[in-house]
Amino acid sequence: RKEVEQDPGPFNVPEGATVAFNCTYSNSASQSFFWYRQDCRKEPKLLMSVYSSGNEDGRFTAQLNRASQYISLLIRDSKLSDSATYLCVVSANAGGTSYGKLTFGQGTILTVHP
Amino acid sequence: ETGVTQSPTHLIKTRGQQVTLRCSSQSGHNTVSWYQQALGQGPQFIFQYYREEENGRGNFPPRFSGLQFPNYSSELNVNALELDDSALYLCASSYGGTGGDGKLFFGSGTQLSVL
């Protein structure tokens, strides 16, 4: 079983749609959780951290359920520029150098069309 | 731009050869992590260097080795290249000391093709 599992998609949605991505992780000792975005042939970039209470950043909402070991990302009012691969990421530790040791899911491909 | 630079951007090698990839970390960062990303997969953690010492290693064989220099730049060396080593190699820098937020900044990667 992979440590971090995501539905690879692809998800094809029209502009303005709401889309949700799900992710599960197997290491119950995981402490830090993130969503990264990766454009084609580019480096991953941090989209947002995910906190236990859930958090929102504009059109993006992230949720974490530690009991179910489940992470989600909701994108509202999709834009063409949201087209990318979304990577679910966990870390077994929090703080210091541990942020560099990340476990990535395989990524979910999103295409937003006009 | 993140301030993390990697060289070269592309590289073609043949099976059995050795390769060295380079990474300059962002100013003020003392930690460098290396990742391998195969096509269609997420990045996989290779190892991390903190203040010139290896500080954690993923599930990669010893033919993957690295260095970090006093200026915190880093090298990834791969010996006895195999076809499956073909991938995008990403370097990420961060500040690993107390008070840092640990945010990771990735370079744009080196695309390695092994023929």
Distance CA B48, CA B66 (A): 9
Hunting for tokens 């290693």 — which residue is that? B57
Distance CA B16, CA B104 (A): 32
Please name the residues in contact with B71: beta carbons below 8 A apart, sequence gap of 6 or more.
none
Tell me, yes or no, if A39 comes closer than 8 A to chain B by beta carbon: no
Cα B92 to Cα A32, A77, B62, B112: the distances in Å are 17, 31, 21, 17
Contacting residues of A for B76, CB less than 8 Å apart: none
Report chain B's C-alpha Rg in angstroms: 13
Cα-based distances in Å from B74 to A25, B22, B30: 30, 6, 10
Using the Cβ of A35 and the Cβ atoms of chain B, whether some distance falls under 8 Å is answered with no
Residue identified by tokens 């990839």 is B21
CB of A102 within 8 Å of a chain B CB? The answer is yes
Q: Which amino acid is at B3?
A: G
Among candidates A25, A75, A19, which has minimal Cα distance to B42? A25
Mean pLDDT on A42-52: 92
- Rounded to whole angstroms, how far apart are CA atoms A48 and A32? 11
Asked whether the beta carbons of residue A99 and residue B104 sit closer than 8 angstroms, the reply is: yes
Q: Is A82 helix (H, G, I), strand (E, B) or coil?
A: helix
Q: What is the pLDDT of residue A29?
A: 86
Yes or no: say if A35 and A108 are a contact pair by the CB < 8 Å rule: no
Phi, psi for residue B89 in degrees, rounded to 5: -105, 120
In this structure, of A61-65, A67-71, B25-29, B82-86, the range with the lowest mean pLDDT score is: B25-29
Give pLDDT, residue A1. Answer: 78
| pLDDT mean over B72-99 | 90
**B40, B45, B55 ranked by CB distance to A102: nearest:** B45
pLDDT at B1: 62
Q: Could you read off the pLDDT of B40-79 as tens digits, one per residue?
A: 999 999 999 988 899 889 999 999 999 999 999 999 999 9
For residue A107, give the nearest of B42, B56, B94 by CB distance: B42
* Greater pLDDT, B103 or A23: A23
